[in-house]
Amino acid sequence: MMTDYKAALQSFQSSSEFFVGIDSDGCAFDSMELKHKECFCPNTINYFELQAVSKFAREAWDFVNLYSRTRGCNRFLALIYALDYLRARPDVQRRGVEIMKLESLERFSESDKPLSNPAIEEFLEENPDPELELCMKWSHHVNRDVKRFVNNVPPFPKLRECLEKFSEAADMMVVSATPVEALTKEWREHDIDKYVSLIAGQEMGNKKEHLEAVVSNYEDGKVLMIGDAPGDQKAAKANNALFFPIVPGEEEASWEHLLAEGIDRFFNGSFAGDYEAGLTERFLAKLPSDPPWNQE
């Protein structure tokens, strides 16, 4: 299955002058808070025995995934980051709770393999590891809960209009760290999958790798990434692509701005420079690097 996903990305063909990559969770859909607060965080508390520090665990999980510069990162990296924050927090240390250190997952994350369910499962077939097996149980349970809870969440207003306007001159692709199955379900459910040539998820690598696989088909200045997380901006810059931010807390206004001005600037060549820099500066100012409990 993992090989099929990779092949789909590698066989991507351009058919237009411009290219647009679009993140999904929190960018196209208002699903980030629902997924993390109802699906990811409860399972994290349960599987990694954080019940005694559940209040702090929720704060750490939400900071990593919603309210900081790591917003939108891969789920397995988020797990490592959240547990690291908990381990270092004095409030947790005073309670004498031992926080698991995911050494096997850290080693896997530093390998050249995709940080995804299929890749970890393939590794486990020949390398049994109780820690990674626990991480897989957690990840699969998260996916089951996402199927249960995340339904009928519509795309942000003006997204459909933006897709229609982009489709006049651009190829489009979903660029996400979410599993492909969940992405496909959400985009099909709202009949917007017809606008994109491919839905790229975690099985195809990270967002930087998604863009890297397609940007050579387009001239400089004609590739745009739309996202709601600093990782989206970094993936764009790593591939010499332009970036339009969907600002957390200001998503509807961001899509309205893109429709009213951003798309035209992208197509007429006036996006790069001061305009893009101003958008990025405002976006990053909304997402701190240091958690609030370190500032108390």
Q: What is the pLDDT of residues 57-113, one digit of tens each?
A: 999 999 999 999 999 899 999 999 999 999 999 999 999 999 999 999 999 999 988
**What is the 3-class SS of the chain, one letter each residue?**
CHHHHHHHHHCCCCCCCEEEEECCECCCECCHHHHHHHHHHHHHHHHCCCHHHHHHHHHHHHHHHCCCCCCCCCHHHHHHHHHHHHHHCHHHHHCCCCCCCCHHHHHHHCCCCCCCHHHHHHHHHHCCCHHHHHHHHHHHHHHHHHHHHCCCCCECCCHHHHHHHHCCCEEEEEECCCCHHHHHHHHHHCCCHHHCCEEECHHHCCHHHHHHCCHHHCCCCCEEEEECCHHHHHHHHHCCCEEEECCCCCHHHHHHHHHHHHHHHHHHCCCCCHHHHHHHHHHHHCCCCCCHHHCC
In percent, how much of the chain has pLDDT > 90? 87
pLDDT value, residue 132:
98
When the pLDDT of each residue in the chain is averaged and rounded to a whole number, the result is 94
Least confident of 1-15, 157-171, 190-204: 1-15
Residue 258's alpha-carbon distances to 197, 208, 228, 252, in angstroms, are: 21, 22, 13, 10
Q: What is the pLDDT of residues 240-276, one digit of tens each?
A: 999 999 999 999 999 999 999 999 999 999 999 999 9
pLDDT value, residue 1:
40
Say what the pTM is. Answer: 0.86
Quickly count: other Cβ atoms within 10 Å of residue 60's Cβ: 28
pLDDT over 90 (residue 30) = yes
Tell me what the mean pLDDT of segment 41-53 comes to. Answer: 98
pLDDT value, residue 226:
98
Q: How far apart are CA 88 and CA 72, in angstroms?
A: 22
Q: How far apart are CA 189 and CA 219, in angstroms?
A: 33
pLDDT value, residue 114:
87
Cβ-contact 28, 276 below 8 angstroms? no
- Of 158 and 2, the structure prediction assigns the larger pLDDT to 158
Tell me what the mean pLDDT of segment 145-157 comes to. Answer: 92
Total residues belonging to the chain: 296
Placement of tokens 């999904």 in the chain: 24
pLDDT value, residue 296:
58
Tell me what the mean pLDDT of segment 8-12 comes to. Answer: 85
The model's confidence at residue 2, banded by pLDDT at 50, 70 and 90, is very low
The closest alpha carbon to 24, from 226, 259, 224, belongs to 226
Q: How far apart are CA 232 and CA 194, in angstroms?
A: 23
pLDDT over 90 (residue 151) = no
Tell me what the mean pLDDT of segment 36-51 comes to. Answer: 98
Least confident of 10-14, 152-156, 198-202: 10-14
pLDDT value, residue 3:
46
Q: How far apart are CA 220 and CA 145, in angstroms?
A: 41
